[in-house]
Chain A
């Protein structure tokens, strides 16, 4: 099941063909290298545009959310097996 976290994180990435590709995120002073982006989708929350990434890091799934208005990142959810 998904466990809601909702904490601010910082994300490092590169721009490829005008799109930002996250490569690592930092949460609680620890770096999480992103091995795979499994899904990206856009949502509009009221007037705020957000982009949601599902990423795999160290074999775990993390859902990251980028707020395009405030340019901030949030670790939205983590998948917990079992």
Chain B
């Protein structure tokens, strides 16, 4: 099996540079909104100066005094992603979109048409140039599983490709830090470093017994598998992601918020978006949670229900009255988040016979039909009538890809 990992370089900033030739060759930082203090994406020129995703604006200005700030246009990025997805799907029917700018292509069914994976990589790059624009480039990784293809992509030059094969595997893994592997997070890396492991190949030398003892029954064998070049658990999960397991929505405000009315409105707004997506995917969840962050403090609560919910009034009542009201508001909030988890397809659940539930289902089906035609929250709760509305937006990770790109 040969897998290609296609990663569009410096995506948000590149799309802006594609649109605007005056930005090309210059350090560009993308901010969520004018007035925001965090760079959410940087152009390759800005990256060369040390600016990366998450860099504070003050630090970014020090690194690049001539940094050009551009307000993110998520609708544009999503439209480019849709074209990117269609483009890679034109080469193989077996494509998995991994994030807004990354896709895995299983070439098993199409490799004979192209001759080799390298030829295919060149053809993909040519098509990206033709369809997305002459400034848009992609790094392509080639290997025999997704973990290694993604790692190979990190070794590929911008606009080029790189292959990891059995022959060069050990050499690559010897130069590979734990965090370079998709699926290994900062905590696990710290634990590995404390064990004396600084590259992936070293894990192979550790005895299974020690790995299990140090990293537990899951991560012990998993790390061993990764060290011999097998696919990581996180990427194997892509095969079983038939529906979303949870839908959440977070928003960071411009300032600390201490107004009860405003907090209530924001929670309601986030709940409306999350439950709208849940209903569009015909799912229902039975775990609700809320997350609030202040300057230095975080408050979080969740509740697991014995029944499934999917209507905003019900979810809002559970989150706001059931969880939030129990909090002695001890700090002003800047970041808000709600989440509905343990989702299941409604078709797998026993139908609710309660008249009140059936009425709500009818009501929200009608609201959804109107909103689908006229746009999100065209018809919405009276609580959201005054003031600006928080609208849906995509993230670079594309956490809601199964909503944006449903599988047939």
Asked if A81 and B79 make an inter-chain contact with CB atoms under 8 angstroms apart, the answer reads no
Asked if B80 and A38 make an inter-chain contact with CB atoms under 8 angstroms apart, the answer reads no
List CB contacts (< 8 Å) of A43-72 with chain B: 43-47, 52, 54, 56, 61, 63
Asked if B375 and A41 make an inter-chain contact with CB atoms under 8 angstroms apart, the answer reads no
Asked if B373 and A39 make an inter-chain contact with CB atoms under 8 angstroms apart, the answer reads no
Nearest-CB distance from A10 to chain B (Å)?
23
Q: Report the separation of the CA atoms of residues A54 and B20 in the bound assembly, to the nearest whole angstrom.
A: 7
Interface size of B in residues (CB-CB distance below 8 Å): 15
Asked if B20 and A61 make an inter-chain contact with CB atoms under 8 angstroms apart, the answer reads yes
B 248-268 to A, binary, CB cutoff 8 A, 1 in contact else 0: 000000000000000000000
Asked if B375 and A39 make an inter-chain contact with CB atoms under 8 angstroms apart, the answer reads no
Q: Report the separation of the CA atoms of residues A80 and B76 in the bound assembly, to the nearest whole angstrom.
A: 21
Whose C-beta in chain A lies nearest to the C-beta of B71?
Answer: A2
| Tier of interface size on chain A | 10 to 19
Asked if A46 and B20 make an inter-chain contact with CB atoms under 8 angstroms apart, the answer reads no
Asked if A41 and B21 make an inter-chain contact with CB atoms under 8 angstroms apart, the answer reads no
Interface SS of chain B: helix, strand, loop or mixed? helix
Nearest-CB distance from A68 to chain B (Å)?
14
Q: Report the separation of the CA atoms of residues A16 and B80 in the bound assembly, to the nearest whole angstrom.
A: 21
Contacts of B375 in A (CB 8 A): 44-47
A42 in contact (CB, < 8 A): yes
Interface SS of chain A: helix, strand, loop or mixed? strand
Asked if B76 and A79 make an inter-chain contact with CB atoms under 8 angstroms apart, the answer reads no
Known: A46-B375, A46-B378, A47-B375. A52 touches B22 (CB 8 A): no
Among B80, B133, B373, B378: residue with most chain A CB under 10 A: B133
Contacts of B18 in A (CB 8 A): 38-39
B374 in contact (CB, < 8 A): yes
Q: List 17 additional A-B contacts (Cβ < 8 Å) besides A52-B76, A54-B19, A54-B20.
A: A38-B18, A38-B20, A38-B21, A39-B15, A39-B19, A39-B133, A41-B80, A42-B79, A43-B79, A45-B375, A46-B374, A47-B375, A61-B20, A61-B21, A63-B19, A79-B22, A81-B22
**B residues bordering A, Cβ < 8 Å?**
15, 18-22, 75-76, 79-80, 133, 373-375, 378
